[in-house]
Structure 1
Amino acid sequence: MGTWDVGPFDNDTAADFCGDLDEAAPNERKGIVHDALARVIGTAGYLEAPESEEAVVAAALVAAQCPGGEPADPVYGPDEPLPDLTGLRDLALQALDRVTTEPSELMDLWAESEGDPWRATIDRLRSTLLPQPSGEELRSR
């Protein structure tokens, strides 16, 4: 497996995914991100690691456009501009939930190699993707 760190962009699959985004026509990029997220959500059986890695990087690209989101990796992230992906927040959350639910090869691989830092990365993405309460909601609490 070509993985060098715990971040969403830190593996060969993610780098290839971002390269594919760069090569796609601008009007196709949102669909590619959407499809990567939807593909894992629809997997009922054993979820393979490459599909999970694509979903995690897709979720990270969505999170990068949300308030408090970390920017895409300057080296392995996409070079070309992406459209507004914030409408995919709920889908990205569902995809992360599926990646971290058995049966999931990626989750198993990280569990075998002390995956606490990887899990913390997923938790940070999830936190960024959660809708933030509006000022009105905060005042009513």
Structure 2
Amino acid sequence: MKNPALDILITLNNYSHDIATALLAVGGIMMYLLYRGRKRLLEDGGGVFFSRVYKKVKTIAEASLAWILIAGVPRTIFYKRYEWSDLSGDLQIVAIIIKHIVMFLLVGLLSFYWIRLSRINKSILAKEERRH
């Protein structure tokens, strides 16, 4: 039985899941770039700027990761109904596995920089606290 409202909701869910995945990837790139440029930025007195940027990127990454996990549940449940391609057959399972391996590597890399940036940010905030 077709349910147009469910069809729309699942389609929107799947699109938002893809957008969250893209935002997480961008968040990872931003964290890498922020980490890479940290020394020059901090030498130039940009500690407050560093903290503001880090906080915003962290918020985007956290929200994206949370939405990927939440929206992934209905996406998984309804995958065969809405996304399965008979033309691709079982080969799409291999593609999905590869996609998830890449995403787990991305999250791992993001976490690597996230942890380091968090430590740097705590240090900056502590220095700012002592100044005031």
Higher relative contact order (CA 8 A, sep 6+): 2
Structure richer in helix, relative to its length: 2
TM bin (shorter chain): 0.3 to 0.5
Q: TM (normalized to structure 2)?
A: 0.41
TM-score (norm 1): 0.39
